Structure 1
Amino acid sequence: MKTRLIAEVKIKTDAKASDALAQLLMMGWLPTSYVPPEEIRRLRELVRLREYLVYERTKFKNKVHAALMREGIRGRKGIFAKKRREFLNELEIDEVNRCLSVIDVLDRQINEISAMIRKIAGES
């Protein structure tokens, strides 16, 4: 790669480097960089957003587990399944109820974004 020569030169100045880059550009020797199409960029953005929302949901689920442990309730598998959610709601622990509300909102958003991702990926 021709640009490596600029990086390896011992004596560098911005003026010399810019002159060298200008010459490489005029000769067509500068490599082009890949810019994905808008559809791919949008898909990546949605995947990143979904990943973030899942991360946040996990934090709130961990808060629920911690609150249950403080109340002496341990070892419940699948605590967020529908049947177990009824149990959680009956406990009437404020912190748990607040976290469950946030988890519900995050679940809806994650499902919406997942559907958008499937739609975009299916169109590709």
Structure 2
Amino acid sequence: MNRAVWFAAGTGVGVYAVVRARRLAEALTPDGARDRLAGLRHGARLMAEEFASSAAERDAELRERLGLVPHGVPELTPGAAGSGLPGTIAAPEHPDQHPHPRRPGADDRATQEGTS
């Protein structure tokens, strides 16, 4: 019985060594190298796609928490300045009232002189 156990163990080790040697030999051929490179490219592409989707998901979560519109431009809602929402401004109370009054500048002087 002792010889049968050692024979089975030797056969198992021999089979394992042959399989490993065959895999190594195939990895060193041009086709094997091409397959490994294709696998690396595929893995890198999957990782980049996963990263992009996770970043977009996190971006959407942050925009929702901060009250921003999906494209990152804050909403400018007339009359909502007191609402406490980010990115809101109040509309002028009178149509002629402008929040930033114009001061006469070079453009106004050129118009007054008749040159443009």
For the criterion TM > 0.5, the same-fold answer is: no
Between Structure 1 and Structure 2, the one with more helix by share is: 1
Q: Which structure is larger by alpha-carbon Rg, 1 or 2?
A: 2
Greater RCO, CA 8 A, separation 6+: 1
Compute the TM-score of the two structures, normalised by the length of structure 2.
Answer: 0.39
Compute the TM-score of the two structures, normalised by the length of structure 1.
Answer: 0.37
